[in-house]
Each structure stands twice: as structure tokens, then as C-alpha cells.
Amino acid sequence: MHILYVSQYFPPEMGAPAARVSELAHHWVRAGHRVTVLTGFPNHPAGRLHPDYREAYRRFGAREVIDGIEVIRTWLLPLPNRKPYERVLNYSSFWLSSSLRGMLLQRPDVVIGTSPQLLVGLSGWWLGRVKRVPFVFEVRDLWPESITASGVGNDQSLFVRTLRAISGFLYRSSTHIAVVTPAFQQNLVQQWQIDPQKIAIAQNGVETDLFTPDGPTAHVQQAFQLKGRFVVSYIGTLGLAHGLTTVLEAAVELQQSRPDVLFLLVGEGADRERLLQLVQAYGLTNVRFTGQQPREQIPALLRASHACLVLLKKADVFKTVIPTKMLECMACARPIILGVEGQARELIETAQAGLCIPPEDVPSLVASITRLHDDAALRQHLGDQGRRYIVEHLSRERMAHEYLHVLEQVVERKALKRSERWNVEALKR
């Protein structure tokens, strides 16, 4: 089977979207399938082109083969992920470029368009239609609900109404829909009246050989001056949806009561500059920003942590998500402090892998950090339980196999329908 995977993000870019596409593609190639990834030039989230791709960018495109995966890079406007108009230009340029470039590619058996960002779904739909093959719309986040929950736009704005119209079109027009949590499936059925049989759950998973509790940490401890500190890490996008002001307010309280606690914030994002200003305004010395780090460095940073934060703002839409960063922390056997309601909380409670607190609740966050700081046995127990759950239920290899089975069924059904149509036409003649 030949799979065309359309994604704006792909390594060497960081973050869950790039990792998901790359790791799934690797597993499918190892299973004997052909995978073509249609993606942009790496620039996310700072809007700066990766040095290795600047020459190719000037040629408007590039083709490379990475561990058996054919990677087609197409032009886009590299802009930082900060202001709404910058995002619109960045997203729209990839949508247009990928829609045109994809038309020149060899006909696949199936097209996957992964969202966010939402316009990638339009590229995938168009290419599925042009190539006359099934289109699977992969939904990793609910748009526009997650946009408005982050404080960008409101339900009545033209921007949000346009996103809602695009979402509805893609839900109805896709051959099949792959979602990452059961709550997403429930949302599509209840809010959009999508047939449940059209929706498959393709959960996020973790590369358990990469994210492991065993491995060196001395290099990151030295690089970021972590020795002798109780490290509470947040590793991921420093975005508007994450409510990270809560972390800084907790740091204010713990700076005196637990002076060895260090908050380590790893990543980039739209909220980073504001957070840096707050650190200065609060006079905090127990918060450290590392900037974006290579993915291969993340497991060591997790192993060097004593507790990991997984936080989102208080909003109904975030009850439907299971952040990938949470699964990676669990795989490294680190206890979670979870400030997310809904699906994520259910998973943590089922796995017994962390402490759950209400979103944006500073006193509860302070109490949970203090509790883990003072109880090494509890940290060990929660970490071990998390690792065990990931290995048994959510390894990337297992998730890739289940997703591949869905794709095979979609292709088979399309072929059967085509065969039946040809038979009917033959009888008419």
C-alpha cells in the first residue's frame, strides 16, 4: 500500500505533530508499505528556516529519503507562531503550495491529511479527489473549539465561523476520519451528526525504546545546572492554551518554602515572551527557560526531572484531549502533575501515574509539588505505574499497527465499491 501523508510539520521540527507523522511513517515502512510525506520546510515555531534547508527553500522545493520514507518538502511562508495574521499566512501558504505540489506526485492508494492546522485537511481532500483515492481526515485537535478556548477570536467572529465551516466540510467530505481520543469521536457524532462507523480512534503513542527510564542524564544536568535541584519540568509548546501563568505563580510561593525546587520550561511558543516578562516582574530565580531542544534530548530531560507538569486552561474542549507530552513523561517513569480535566484525567487515574489537580489552580499545584518533593516513594510508585501502562497499552508500534489496519480497510472498501460500480455498468451495457 502506498500512503500519502500530508502534514505541515515533520522533523527536524519539534513537537507532537512532527513526531507522530514521522514515527507512524517509520513503522509503516518497516511493515513493508510505501509512505510519502508531503510537508513544508522546517521553521516552526519561531518562523526561522532550519539552516540545512535554506538552499532548498530558495529552489521552492526538495525531495529526500529518510529511513525509507519519501519526504517531499514544498514552499511556505516561514513566520513565527505568535500573531493571528502570521499564522493565517503561514497556514494558507502551505495549503496552497501542498495542494499544487501534491498533484505532481504519483497516485497513492490513500491520502491522510492531519490537522491541526486545519487547512492541511483541505489539501488532503483535494489530493484525494484529484487522485481519485480515499481521503482520511486525521483530527488531533478540535478546531475552532480549541482556538476560541485559547482566547483567539469568539464564536461569532468571521474567522471562527470560517474555521467551523471548513471543519464541517471536511468531516462530511472525507472518506474516513481518524481521531486521537474517544471524546473526539463523541463530539463529531453529537455536534456534527457524523456516522460513528465513519470514525476510527487512532490514539497517540510513544516510542518506548526512545522514551525510557534508563539512560544518561549527566549531560543535561550539567548543561542546565540541575544538580542538587528538585526539577519540576514542563516540556512542550509554551502556548496560549496552557495557562502557564499558573506555573509562575506557584514558583512565587515555592521560592521560599522549597528553595531547591526548580521549574524547567523547555520549548518555544506564542506565550514565551510574556512568561519571560513575568519572571522578571516576579523576581523569580527558580524558573529556567531552555528554549527549543532536539527531540533526542527530551528523554534525558524527562529522566532528569523529579515531576512533570501537563497543563491546559480550564475549557470544555480540553476535556477531550490526551496530550502527547503526558504519555512521554509516563514512558520515562516520571510522576505527572496533571491540570487537565476529562480524558487525560481518566487515563492518569486508571494508570495511577500521577496527581490530578483542577486546571489553573495555584494552591493545588503548590500542594502537589510539595507532596512529591517530600515523598520519594510516592514518586517512584507513580512513575513505575505510568511506564507499565504505556508499555502495555500505548506503545507507538502498537498504535501504528492498529492505524494501519484502519487504512487497509478503507482502501479495501473503496476498491470493492469501485468493482461493484464497474460490474453494474458492465451489466447495463
Q: Do both 115 and 22 map to the same domain?
A: yes
- Identify which of 276, 257, 280 has the alpha carbon closest to the alpha carbon of residue 267: 276
- Do 277 and 160 belong together in one domain? no
Number of domains in the chain: 2
Determine the Cα–Cα distance for residues 34 and 194; give it in Å rounded to an integer.
30
pLDDT in tens, 138-149: 999 998 888 887
Region 81-104 average pLDDT: 92
For residue 428, the model assigns a pLDDT of 63
Residue 426 has pLDDT above 70, yes or no: no
Task: State the first-to-last Cα distance of the chain, in angstroms, to the nearest integer.
Answer: 32
Per-residue cell: 417: 465499491
**What CATH number does residue 248 fall under?**
3.40.50.2000
**320 and 196 in one domain?**
no
Is a pLDDT exceeding 70 seen at residue 5? yes
**Cell, residue 138:** 486525521
* In a domain? residue 19: yes
Range of the domain at 145: 2-205+396-428
Residues 178, 230, single domain; the answer is: no
Tens of pLDDT, residue by residue over 298-346, are 999 999 999 999 999 999 999 999 999 999 999 999 999 999 999 999 9
- Written as one letter, the residue type at 187 is N
Position 280 in a domain: yes
Across the chain, mean pLDDT equals 94
Residue 82, pLDDT > 80, answer no
In a domain, 156, yes or no: yes
What's at 115, amino acid-wise? Answer: S
Alpha-carbon 389 to chain mean position: 20
Q: What is the pLDDT of residue 15?
A: 84
What is the rounded CA–CA span in Å between residue 165 and residue 118? 11
Residue 167 lies inside a defined structural domain of this protein: yes
251 and 194 within one domain: no
pLDDT tens per residue across span 258-307: 999 999 999 998 899 999 999 999 999 999 999 999 989 999 999 999 99
Q: Is residue 212 part of a domain?
A: no
Q: Note whether 65 and 72 are within 8 A (CB).
A: no
375 located within any domain: yes
Asked if residue 82 belongs to a domain, the reply is: yes
Same domain, 160 and 231: no
| pLDDT, mean of residues 397-404 | 97
147 plus 96 within the same structural domain: yes
Residues 49-72: what's their mean pLDDT? 95
Q: State percent of the chain over pLDDT 90.
A: 86
Tell me, yes or no, whether 238 and 138 share the same domain: no
Residues 341 and 401 reside in one and the same domain: no
Query: In terms of domains, do 167 and 293 share one?
Result: no
| pTM, 2 dp | 0.90
23-49 pLDDT tens trace: 999 999 999 999 999 999 999 888 899
Set of cell numbers at residue 109: 492508494
250 and 179 housed in the same domain: no
pLDDT at 415: 85
Backbone conformation region of residue 68, classed left if phi is above 0, alpha if psi is from -120 to 50, else beta: left
pLDDT surpassing 90 at residue 375 = yes
Q: Answer whether residue 176 is part of any domain.
A: yes
